[in-house]
Amino acid sequence: MGTVVSLRIGSTARGGAMRDGGLGDGGTRAVTEAAAPDAALAAVRTVFTRWDERFSLYRPDSEISRIARGDIRLTQASAELRDCYAIALDWRDRTDGVFTPHRADGVLDLSGVVKSLAIAEAGEALRGLGLSEWSVNAGGDLLVSGDQSPGQDWVAGIVDPASRHELLASVPLVAPVRAVATSGSAERGEHIWTSAGGGPSPYRQVSVIGLDIVTVDVLATTIIAGGEAALGRSIETFPIEVLAVLRDGSLVATAGLRSGQS
């Protein structure tokens, strides 16, 4: 996926079971507290490796790269890939066509949903291990679970796109708010095709905070691509908060962030 994945877990192993589902050996096994870190890391690595091998356009041997080259047609693709494509099309409809899996050069690109779907599946794998306090961070898109001790809630740091060593904001992720996704040009340049007047997005970076990792990931991309109109539609339609950085460095924040109630 061209990014880095990191995992943090709390001391929440409860002697749970690792359920089969592409993550285990077909059975179940108890996970002790001592074994939890290794088991959690292995489960998350397995999830992301499988998604990367099928969906990464960075890999010439991936299924989606084979479709891009014309080696196979979409109708010949795996059920998993076609299901992912259906999810992307659903989001295209829900965002009035601003979010799309179809690049201008005709290549099918499911990157807009793949990473967040992998994060969500990794979270389910961790729950299957009996872990309830954890965070999974993939390229700055973050999903957390569990409540820390009082005053020690999960906090997401939103990086300043003008200085990658500085934070714009620190956002507490207090349940039910569990997910943050950031999209923009600061790290990878102009890689998002836009519908905002045909030119560059008015936003250099957009961070979306909400309940569901797939939703916030898609909407961060949507707002970058669709500009101010997409921002307005997104905050009217979905239970999210948004922090956007304009091209001149000024900030746009939704009411919940301004009041500190995100």
Reply yes or no on whether the pLDDT at 142 is more than 90: yes
Query: Are the C-beta atoms of residues 234 and 242 closer than 8 Å to each other?
Result: yes
Percent over 70 (pLDDT), the chain? 81
Q: Where in the chain is the domain with CATH 3.10.520.10?
A: 1-139, 140-262
* Banded pLDDT at 193 (limits 50, 70, 90): low
Per mean pLDDT, which range of 13-27, 72-86, 111-125, 207-221 is the poorest?
13-27
Mean pLDDT of the 138-160 span: 85
User: Where are the alpha helices (H) located in the chain, listed in sequence order?
Assistant: 36-55, 63-69, 79-94, 111-128, 213-237, 255-258
Confidence of residue 260 (pLDDT cuts 50, 70, 90): low
The superfamily CATH assigns to domain 140-262 is ApbE-like domains (3.10.520.10)
CA dihedral 179, 112, 85, 7 (to 10 degrees): -50
Q: How much is the average pLDDT of 67-72?
A: 97
**CATH entry, 1-139, from 3.10.520.10, 3.40.190.10, 3.10.129.10, 3.90.226.10:** 3.10.520.10
Q: How do residues 113-139 score in pLDDT, each as one tens digit? A: 999 999 999 999 999 999 999 999 999
Give the mean model confidence (pLDDT) for residues 86-112.
95
Look-up: residue for tokens 């009041």?
259
Q: What rounded mean pLDDT belongs to the chain? A: 86
CA distance 111 to 88: 9
Q: State how far the Cα of 138 lies from the Cα of 118, in Å rounded to an integer.
A: 9
Longest dimension (CA), the chain: 55
Q: Tokens at residue 75, please?
A: 């109708």
Structure tokens of 122?
Answer: 């990794």
Consecutive H or E run containing 192: none
Q: Which amino acid is at 188?
A: R
Would you call 206 helix, strand, or coil by DSSP? strand
What pLDDT, on a 0 to 100 scale, did the predictor assign at position 174?
87
Given a cut of 90, whether residue 182 has pLDDT beyond it is: yes
| The pLDDT of residue 36 | 82
Show Cβ contacts of residue 229 under 8 Å, excluding neighbours closer than 6 positions.
196
CB 206 within 8 A of CB 184: yes
What is the pLDDT, as a whole number, of residue 41?
95
Higher pLDDT, 190 or 144: 144
The pTM score is 0.86
Q: What is the mean pLDDT of residues 83-94?
A: 98
Give pLDDT tens digits for 222-253: 999 999 999 999 999 999 999 999 999 999 99
- Give the type of residue at 231: L
Q: What is the pLDDT of residue 201?
A: 85
* Confidence category of residue 150, pLDDT binned at 50, 70, 90: low
Residue partners of 152: CB distance under 8 A and separation at least 6: none
172 strand-pairing partners: 155
What burial class does residue 71 get, using C-beta atoms within 10 Å of its C-beta: 0-12 exposed, 13-18 middle, 19+ buried? exposed
